[in-house]
Chains A and B, each alone.
Chain A
Amino acid sequence: MKELEELNLPEDLSYSIDHVWVQNQGEKARLGITDFAQDQLGEIVFVELPETDDAFNQGEAFCTVESLKTVVEVYIPIGGTIVTVNNELEDSPELVNNDPYEQGWLVEITPTDRAALGSLMKKDEYLEMLKGSD
C-alpha cells in the first residue's frame, strides 16, 4: 500500500468522499477512481461499466470494480447521464491501476446540475480526509 505522501492526486481534479475523481470538461465531466482507491483495491481484474444514456442520481452506484481481493461498487459523486464509457477497460482493466487519471478513466457524463461540481473536494481537502481516516 502506498503511503499518503506517495499518492498521485492531480491539482486540477475534484474528489469525492467515495474516492472518485471528477474532471470538469465544460459540457461534460470525466470520472474515475483515485490513486488511493486503486491502490487499496489491488490488482483490478474486471470493471463493469454502465451503458451510455443510463442516468444516475448523486450517490448511486454506477460501476462495479473487481480486484483479486474484493468487489466494490463505485458511487457517482454528481448526478448525470452517461455519455461515453471507457471501452478499453473491457479487455484491459489493469489500466485503472496503472494510469487511474488518464487511460484508466471510467465514464464521461453530462451533469444534471453543474453546480454540484462545486460541492466536491479539492486535492488538499481530499488528502486531509484521507489523513483523518488513516
Chain B
Amino acid sequence: MHYDVVVVGSGPGGYVAALRAMQLGASVALVEQDRIGGVCLNWGCIPTKTLIASAGVLELVKKAEDFGLDVEGSVRPNMRKIIARKQKVIETQGKGIQNLLEKRGISMVWGHATVTKNRDIEVQGQDGGSQLLQWNKLILALGSSILTLPALPIDGHTVITSDQALELIEVPEHIIIVGGGVIGCEFATLFARLGSKVTVIEGLSRLLPIPGVDAECSKLLGREMKKRKIDVRLNQTVLNAEVNEDEAMVHIGPSSFHASNADDQEKRKTLQADKVLVCVGRRPNTQNFNLEHIGVRCDSKGWIQADEFMCAASDVYAVGDVLGPQRIMLAHVASYEAIVAAENALGGNHRTMDYMHAPGAIFTAPEVACAGLSQAQAEDEGYTVRSATVLFRSLGKAQATGELTGQAKIIMNATDNRLLGVHLVGAHATELITQAAFMLKMGCSVHDVAQTIHPHPTLSEIMFEASNVLIGRAVHN
C-alpha cells in the first residue's frame, strides 16, 4: 500500500501527527507494535494520574474530620480495585483514540516496523505476516523505554520498573525509589499517600534536578516529602544490592556526581525494603529500526537528531520522546511537535517548534509546575533577574479548602519588566500553569499580569499577588 504519510508510533506524538496529516488531506497509515496511546496512555501520564487520584481521595477521607465530617469505619487502599479502575480509564481512552483514527480514515497497521532503503516500511505482525507500506513522508514517533541500572537488575518482583509499579496488587511496606526525577518523585508521594514507607535515592544534589525546574521548587518538594516522612537521600547512588523474592538489601554510597570521597566506606549505608523501584531515565526506541537506511542521525545515546522543523532527514520527521531530553520529553510537547511535523511534511518546512514556553507539569503531592526560565537559567542567559514569591496560604481560597502548601515564584527581566518564568508548587499547580504559559507566549510584562482582574476566591489570584509584589504594588503581601 502507498500512503502520503506513514506515522510510526501511536503515542501522543504519533496519533496527533496522523490526525493532523489527515486533516490536511493526506492518506495516512499509523503503525503501532504495542498498545494504542503509547507510554502516555498505557504506562505514563494517564495510569499514574488515576492512581494518584485514588491516593488523593484516600487522603481526603483521612482528613475528613478536619473539615467537620464524622466518618465511621476505616478506609484503606484496595490495590486490585485501584488497578482495575486505572485499566478501565486506559481502555476507555484507548478506544476513544482508536475510534477517532478509524472515523477519520486513518489505516491502523499493527506490528513492528523497520525501514528499507526504498521508502518502504516493513511491518511484521504478531501473527507472523508482514506488510509493506510505501511513504512519501515519514513521521517517526518511536517513543522511549525504561532505562535500567547494571547495579540493580530488574527481576519484576522485588526490583521493578515504573511500568510494573503500576500493576502492584499490594501496597509495599517499604519501597526504595532509585531516582529523584519526575517519575521517581511522583511515585514517592503516591506510595507515601497509599501508606508505604518510602526512601528516595538521588545521585544529584536536589530532587527534580531539571534545569527548567527552579531550585526553590525542589527545596519545597523536599520539605513536603519530609512532612510525609519520606526519607530523601541526595548525592547518593546505588552501589549494589542483594535481592530475593521478599526483600532487597540495597547498598548506597556517595554518588560520583558528588565531590566528596566516593570511596569513603563509612559513608556507605545499607537499606532494606520489600520493593525497589528503578526510575533512572529513558532510552530511545530506535533499535532494529534501520534508521541509517533513511539517513536519520542519532546522538551517542541513540536519540534522533531533528532540526527546528522537526525534520530528521529528507522527507522524514521525528517527534516526541525519541528526540531525547534535549527536546523535553513530555506528552504535550510531543503532540505539539506532531502538529508542526505534519504541517511541515505536507506544506513544506515553514513552521518551527517553540520549546521556550512549554510548561512542565509534575504530579507530586503537592504538584509542581513550571513555565519559562528558572532563576538559574535566567541568570545564565544574562538577564537582570528579579523575582517574587507568594505563598498559597496567603490566599483565602487556600485557607477555605485547606490546601495551604506551596508558593508561586515569578521571575522577570528587571530591564523591561518582561515575564521570564513562573514556578508553582501547590494544589492544582499543573492547572494554574497554563495562564503562565500563555502570558510567556504572548511576551507579557509583569504589569500585564498585575493589571488583569483575577477571580476571587481562587488559587489563580497568586499570579496577581506575585506580579504586584514584583512591581511594588502589592496590597496584601
Contacts and interface: CB of A to CB of B under 8 A. Distances in A.
A48 B223 contact: yes
Interface stretch (A21-29, A67-75, A96-104): A67-75
Contact of A68 (B223, B226, B404): B404
A64 B219 CA distance: 11
Contacts of B404: 45, 68
B377 interface: no
A85 B217 CA distance: 25
Contacts of A70: 391, 393-394
A111 B123 CA distance: 71
B456 interface: no
Interface string A50-75: 00000000000000100011110000
A69 B227 CA distance: 17
Contact of A71 (B226, B227, B391, B399): B391
A48 B224 CA distance: 10
A98 to B, nearest CB: 20
B393 A68 contact: yes
A69 B223 contact: no
B309 to A, nearest CB: 46
A46 interface: yes
A46 B227 contact: yes
A68 to B, nearest CB: 7
A69 B393 contact: yes
Interface residues of A, number: 8
A45 B404 CA distance: 10
A34 B192 CA distance: 34
Nearest to A49: B226
Interface string B401-428: 0001001000000000000000000000
Contacts of B223: 46, 48, 64
A33 B100 CA distance: 62
Interface in B384-400: 391, 393-394, 399
A48 B391 CA distance: 17
Of listed A69, A70, A71, residue having the most chain B CB within 10 A: A71
Contacts of A45: 404
Nearest to B229: A90
Contacts of B399: 68
Contacts of B227: 46
Interface in B185-223: 223
Nearest to B391: A71
A69 B393 CA distance: 6
Nearest to A71: B391
Contacts of B407: 71
B228 to A, nearest CB: 11
Nearest 8 A-B pairs (CB), nearest first?
A48-B223, A46-B227, A71-B391, A48-B226, A69-B393, A64-B223, A70-B391, A68-B404
Given A46-B227, A69-B393, A71-B407, 13 more contacts: A45-B404, A46-B223, A48-B223, A48-B226, A64-B223, A68-B393, A68-B399, A68-B404, A69-B394, A70-B391, A70-B394, A71-B391, A71-B393
14 contacts: A45-B404, A46-B223, A46-B227, A48-B223, A64-B223, A68-B393, A68-B399, A68-B404, A69-B394, A70-B391, A70-B393, A70-B394, A71-B391, A71-B393
